[in-house]
Structure 1
Amino acid sequence: MAAFIAKQVVGDKLSSVKGAIGKDEEGGGDTEKENAEALEIEEARREMEEKRKEKHRKMEEEREVMRQGIRDKYGLKKKEEVQEEEADPMADGRVGRKKKTPAELAAEANKDDSDDEEFAKGFPPNLSELSSKVSEIPAKLAQGVGEVTEKCVLQ
């Protein structure tokens, strides 16, 4: 009786395995069905991505309206920005910033130089005189301490 039960259990498993193998061999229509499902899934993903992009675009428009209201209220000027549409269209999936052209690098270097000049213009004209006096202070202080230590006698 135990052999009958064992044969029944093993026999069911073998027939299920044989059935699975047989279905794969004769199932030419399954691949067409799978391809159709894959296309539907891809289309659904594409639609979801478009909806997500549209949602983010609308949110950014709302934020820009809010930013403009703040600029108007406080009299701030809008920073000039490079339009994203003008940027490299092939860099959509790219991580990181876009590379600067030599012209952009030169303009940036000139801007840094002009910033230094403007910064120097803000100082008083006798700055070199003041800086020399400040550099003399430690020497005068050391000299004064030396004089005091000569006058004092430690017992």
Structure 2
Amino acid sequence: MAQFGACEVTLDSKRNFNKYRMMLASVVPPCVPFIGVFLSTLQFIQDGNRDTLSDGLINFKKRQMASEVISDIKRWQAHSYNLQSVPVIREYLEDRLGLGFGGGLNGGGGSGGGGGWVRESEREREMRMGIDRFWEMSLEREPREREDEKMARLLQESGFL
């Protein structure tokens, strides 16, 4: 319970998560920071700053602030994480994400034995098919744009067209 209390104090949203930000500044990567703080900051920047200034010029300060937040996120992503695979956790996540067929490799997502060559081949095939399914869902929600369409959209959104 003491650990939970310490986490609660650190992640207190008062003063824009100031305690968490100070703690995060002292952390040596690799670290997986709480993405919600970054998303909240981006939302505050979006909602609290006008896109254009009173004279009609683009508010580049707003874009600079958003860029700094995104750069900070990318800084954390730039480090490699030497994580060890934990089969029970991996199977649980695969089951919950629906990457396997029929509720996981063991039929129910439990921690079965095995793990031989055939099983790994089956697991790899199921993972690939699951990833392919997520990619198709992503394309349905956000269809790919041609480069010229993308450039035109970005120029329009930024006010240049």
TM bucket, shorter chain: under 0.3
Q: TM-score, normalised by structure 1?
A: 0.24
Q: Which has the higher contact order (CA 8 A, sep 6+)?
A: 2
Q: TM-score, normalised by structure 2?
A: 0.23
Q: Counting helix residues as a fraction of each chain, which structure ranks higher?
A: 1
Larger radius of gyration: 1
